[in-house]
Homo-oligomer: A and B are copies of this chain.
């Protein structure tokens, strides 16, 4: 297994990254280095800046992930502040905000930032879906109980296997792993 450092404090993100990585022979190793997050509406820029910052501390190649839930009817809220907003108002708050709103469209965006001191790259993944009117499935990780991916009948919280197959993070980490193996064919 090729090992790649992943700067995150979030065990759910680490597990999801490794679920993807194992198909590529890549193991993501957790690196607990907190870093200041840029205020920008684009999670790609936040991830890029984060990767650069953590690299400047550890001087080893690494990835970070920044993820946002962008709700159409709320002008993209909570976007890059999804984690903060979740901590404060949770899924019930989003449900109240979406009360009586017909347009339920939303997109989850994950951006993996990679930095090795020479290369600084961002890999994005998206998953479109709808915000449902009540929570379905256990409250384990973020907005999963209220996000129904397009074409599916179960929320991310109700079905891990669906999430693993279609999620934004699946796509961003796949894009990273594919690129990384091309760049390091001997490893």
Q: Which of the candidate stretches A8-16, A33-41, A147-155 sits at the interface with the other chain?
A: A33-41
User: Is A180 engaged at the interface, CB distance under 8 Å to the other chain?
Assistant: no
Q: Which of the candidate stretches A89-97, A108-116, A167-175 sits at the interface with the other chain?
A: A89-97
CA distance A78 to B77 in the complex (A): 12
Within 8 A of B (CB), among A79-121: 79, 81, 84-85, 87-89, 93, 96-97, 99
Whole-angstrom distance between the Cβ of A130 and the nearest chain B Cβ: 18
Mask, A59-92, CB within 8 Å of B = 1, is 0000000000000001111110100110111000
Residues of B within 8 A of A79 (CB): 88
Are A88 and B77 also in contact (CB < 8 A) when A37-B39, A38-B36, A39-B36 are?
A: yes
B88→A75 contact, CB < 8 A: yes
Residues of B within 8 A of A97 (CB): 89, 93, 96-97
Are A74 and B88 also in contact (CB < 8 A) when A36-B38, A38-B36, A39-B36 are?
A: yes
Residue of B76, B89, B96, B99 near A88 (CB, 8 A) is: B76
CA distance A37 to B89 in the complex (A): 22
CA distance A81 to B88 in the complex (A): 12
Task: Give the nearest-CB partner of A38 in chain B.
Answer: B36
Task: Give the nearest-CB partner of A71 in chain B.
Answer: B88
Task: Give the nearest-CB partner of A39 in chain B.
Answer: B37
- A selection of 19 A-B contacts at a CB cut-off of 8 Å is A36-B39, A37-B39, A39-B39, A39-B84, A74-B88, A74-B89, A74-B93, A75-B87, A75-B88, A77-B85, A77-B89, A78-B88, A79-B88, A81-B81, A89-B97, A93-B97, A96-B96, A96-B97, A96-B99
Q: Apart from A74-B88, A77-B89, A97-B97, what 5 extra A-B contacts exist at CB < 8 Å?
A: A36-B38, A37-B39, A76-B88, A77-B85, A96-B96
